[in-house]
Structures are given as C-alpha cells and as structure tokens.
Amino acid sequence: MTSPTASASSKAAAAYQSTKGGALDIDRAFYDRFAGVEHELVDSFEIPIRSGRAWTVPQGHLCRIVTVDGPQVGDLNVWNLNDPRERMWAARTRQLQRAHISTYDRIWSNLPFLRPLLTVTADSLADYGVDADGGRVHDLLGTRCDPYVNRMLTGEDFDFHCHSNLVRAVLPYGLTEFDVHDVLNVFQCTGLNDADQYFMKDCPARPGDHFEFFAETDLLCALSTCPGGDLSVPLWGPDARDPLDVCRPLGVEVYRPDPALLDGWTPPARAAYRNLHGLRRPDHTEAAGM
C-alpha cells in the first residue's frame, strides 16, 4: 500500500469548479485595487497573549491581522454582524476554496445563507507554498484548541485555550459558547501526514507579517491568540510543556478604503435557493374546503 502524497492527490480534479462568470469566478481586478494604496485607519489594537477580542468590520472595509512581535497563531471566527446566525462555514470553504487559504480566496457562510463573508486581499506568507512535510499556511483543516480535549488528554483544566478565549470575547456582543464555531487558523502551518493524520508545525511568520481581508458584509470578528504561541512546543504528548515563552500578541487594523475604489462592487446576496426542500406549500383554499 502506498502512502498518499501531494503529487498523487494533485492529479485529481477539484470537485467544486468555477465557471466563467459563476459564483466562484472572482473578479481579481477589483480586489487588486486595494493593493499599494493608503487607506484611512479607523481602528487599531493589540490582542495580548492567551486572550481573545471581538470587533466589528463594516461592509466594504479592510481588516488586517499582523504578527507584531514575531510568529504567533490566531484562531479567527466570523459572523454576519446583523444576523449572527450567519457565520463562517469552514467545511464548505475548504471545498469551495482550499484547505489553506490565501489571496483571492473567500470565507463562505453557513446554510441557508451560503455567500462570501470576506475575501482575502493580501497575505505576506502567500509565497510559503508547500514545505517538505506538506505543510501549508492559514489552516482550515483543523479547529480551535479547547479545554474539553485538554482535560480529556491531560486530566487538567486550562481556561485559556482558543475556544475559551473566543467565548469570553463574544459575550459583550450577546453571543455565547454555542455561537463559537470552527475557525480559520491564521498564520498556522498544518497538513496531513502519510497516515492521514493532522499535524502542526512551527509558525513561519516574522514580525510584521500580515493577513488582510475585505468585508463583503458587516462583520463581527473574534480572534484568539493561541496559547500554543508559535506551535514550536507540543501542547500534548511526551514532549509537551507550557509554551508560554513562545506566545506573542497579535495586532488588528481596520481600514476604510476610498469609496471610489468600491465602484462597481455589489454586496453578495444570500443563496437564491427557495428553501422548499421538496415540501409542498399548504393550499389555503383546500384547507377551507373551497
């Protein structure tokens, strides 16, 4: 039995493919307008180590996540600000885009909405590509670390995993633990080994690296600075130890582009499917005996 390899898997065609002018055919020229242009900074803050914060990004604005002091992984959640029942759908995004996303890729929302919430406009690690172990950056394969798995694996409680950080972050916005969902692991390098098992590698980001996206609708975002820091130290297993010394803050910046740059852009509409699911609508004339 041969082990799966990147070269072997690349021979298979993608299941979900774009047609010209279709929903997956992105207008790259539009998103290229934002590159190399100064935008108005409307919000800026740092998220300390092992914590989380939520913030809003208005429709048509840009948001940039920055490694201010060096390599650090961040776990990102995204909701429609005006209806948080609509939120990022990691699994469908993996299918419609890629398991590791970069410039021009989108984050798609859950059913019954199914539309892009954001589009990636800049990624300083876009050239990382695939390393010798098959690792890639900005991961949708895995999800957030959480205290439930930690207790299961170690027998100990730890309240500052990404899941807990995100829970605390969204409480001021009226959301709860049930609203926290699968994440985009920004700056995280991951892949599948020859046994088809998920692996994590040292974060390759340097001070000043960034990941930027365009808000296709009004967004509520929440980001956790992972307690594993740059993931150079195992969180579990025989070599595990507290990786506090490799934890660093992350910066967040929100920009308002010149309105002229938005000319021709239309916010994406929710899915056109009528939600009937094969069910027949009641006929009120029949019900009345008419």
pLDDT tens column, 64-118? 999 999 999 999 999 999 999 999 999 999 999 999 999 999 999 999 999 999 9
pLDDT, residue 286, reads 59
Q: Is residue 23 part of a domain?
A: no
Q: How far apart are the first and last CA of the chain?
A: 68
CB count within 10 Å of CB 264 equals: 9
What is the tally of structural domains in the chain? 1
Q: Is residue 190 part of a domain?
A: yes
Q: Is the pTM of this model over 0.75?
A: yes
Domain range for 176 is 42-259
Residue 4 has pLDDT above 70, yes or no: no
Residue 194 has pLDDT above 90, yes or no: yes
Triad 58, 186, 239: Cα angle to 5°:
150
Phi-psi region of 277 (alpha: psi -120 to 50; beta: other; left: phi over 0): left
Peptide bond preceding 112 in cis form (omega within 30 of 0): yes
Q: How confident is the model at residue 11 (pLDDT cuts 50, 70, 90)?
A: confident
Give mean pLDDT, residues 138-150.
96
Inter-CA distances, 154 with 98, 198, 237, Å? 33, 19, 9
Q: How confident is the model at residue 144 (pLDDT cuts 50, 70, 90)?
A: very high
- Per mean pLDDT, which of 6-15, 146-155, 236-245 is the most reliable? 146-155
Residue 19 has pLDDT above 90, yes or no: no
Q: Is residue 13 part of a domain?
A: no
How confident is the prediction for the chain on average, in pLDDT? Answer: 93
Q: Is residue 161 part of a domain?
A: yes
Q: Is residue 238 part of a domain?
A: yes
pLDDT, residue 289, reads 60
